Structure 1
Amino acid sequence: MKLTRELDKACKLRATNLGLSQSAYIRSPIERDIATAGTSEQRPAWVRELLAVIAQHENDEHRRAS
């Protein structure tokens, strides 16, 4: 995958801040999308909100650990 120099730099920095490799950081949204693809039903709003809170908490923990 080709990235602009600026996007590549920002991607590496974000991955490092999360304690991930750049590949793992890029792969994560693709894996989430594939895991939920093919389901015609959208998750209830409360589930989406809960998952967002969990993801934010995990990001905060990764930042504190670095």
Structure 2
Amino acid sequence: MKLILETDRLLLRELNINDADSFYKLNLNPNVIKFTGDSAFKNMEDAKEFLKNYGDYAENGQ
């Protein structure tokens, strides 16, 4: 886990494959999707694949 920032009440870290369940459920919410510009994941495997291949950290840094 790459930690970016931690306070008493907040832990900010990079996404990882262990976040797939929460990430999948979050993207089922139409109020979230309308602001991301993405479509909802079809299933949990899609969420895992997305997280495995998420390249923004490498491309853009923290």
Q: Which has the higher contact order (CA 8 A, sep 6+)?
A: 1
| Greater per-residue helix proportion | 1
TM-score grouping bracket, smaller chain normalisation: 0.3 to 0.5
Larger radius of gyration: 1
| Greater per-residue strand proportion | 2
TM-score w.r.t. structure 1 length?
0.32
TM-score w.r.t. structure 2 length?
0.33
